[in-house]
Amino acid sequence: MDNFWKALTKFKPTPPKKHYLTFNKEKIEVTLEQYLEVTNAGIENFEYKDKKITRKKRIPAEQLQPTLHLAEVGYHFYNGDPFWVIGHNRKGFEWRIE
């Protein structure tokens, strides 16, 4: 029985497991809750900024709206009104989704 008590006094508990995530070749130690959240949703949906892990804003394809941009060939508008097109020629505007 003496050997049991000696072994018990020398026993070291196993250290808690550390969880790591890699953002842009940078390895970061995180809590288990953060690790599970990021790995379940996918690491591509998160970013590491200012020593914080934040979820990226994702806009669904249905919500992407076209905007006007200058182009080589595009539309010309009456008084800058995009609903009143007067022509389609060089150095005009075109609708782009970005």
> Would you say residue 59 has pLDDT above 80?
no
Q: How many helices and strands, by DSSP H and E, does the chain display?
A: 2, 6
Domain ranges of the chain: 2-57, 63-96
pTM: 0.53
Higher pLDDT: 30 or 93? It is 30
| Over residues 83-88, mean pLDDT | 86
CA distances from 67 to 35, 72, 82, 93 (A): 38, 16, 10, 10
Torsion of the alpha carbons at 60, 61, 63 and 66, rounded to the nearest 10: 140
pLDDT of 21 over the 90 cut: yes
